[in-house]
């Protein structure tokens, strides 16, 4: 009769709060990495691919090896013929072009 029943009290699920507290910083870090590193790099790569598609005859290009030359002929979708010196012509892959320095002038059409 002097002994009373003791009831255990439940503490509001501490495991769930700890889990959210651990995951939230990781999600925030991944979001920062995406917006500051991954997304700008993808955009820059897409712009470079567009630049490579637009290379035409007469453009001055810089190769990844550092050679500067003028595009003489577009051989196919992947190759260009570039003149890097007087009577020195090389075949270059489009993927080997680092930059387009100057666009060629448009071909003048003769009118009669």
pLDDT in tens, the chain (112 residues): 666 666 665 555 555 567 788 899 999 999 999 999 999 999 999 999 999 999 999 999 999 999 999 999 999 889 999 999 999 999 999 999 999 987 765 555 655 5
Residue 71 to residue 84: CA distance in whole angstroms: 9
pTM for this prediction: 0.65
pLDDT at 28: 94
Q: SS3 letters for 33-93?
A: HHHHHHHHHHHHHHHHHHHHHCCCCCCEEEECCCCEEEEEEECCCCEEEEEEECCEEEEEE
Give me the pLDDT at residue 107, please: 54
**Which tokens in the block code for residue 33?**
């990495």
pLDDT for residue 40:
94
Place of tokens 């890097």: 84
E strand or H helix at 22: helix 14-33
Q: What pLDDT was estimated at residue 19? A: 79
């Amino acid at each position: 009769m002097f002994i009373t029943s003791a009831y255990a009290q439940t503490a509001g699920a501490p495991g769930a709060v700890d889990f959210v507290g651990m995951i939230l910083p990781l999600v925030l870090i991944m979001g920062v990495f995406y917006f500051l590193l991954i997304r700008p790099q993808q955009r820059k790569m897409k712009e470079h691919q567009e630049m490579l598609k637009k290379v035409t005859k007469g453009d001055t290009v810089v190769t990844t090896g550092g050679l500067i030359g003028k595009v003489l002929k577009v051989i196919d979708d992947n190759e260009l013929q570039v003149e890097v010196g007087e009577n020195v012509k090389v075949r270059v892959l489009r993927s080997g072009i680092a930059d387009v320095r100057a666009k060629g002038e448009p071909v003048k059409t003769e009118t009669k």
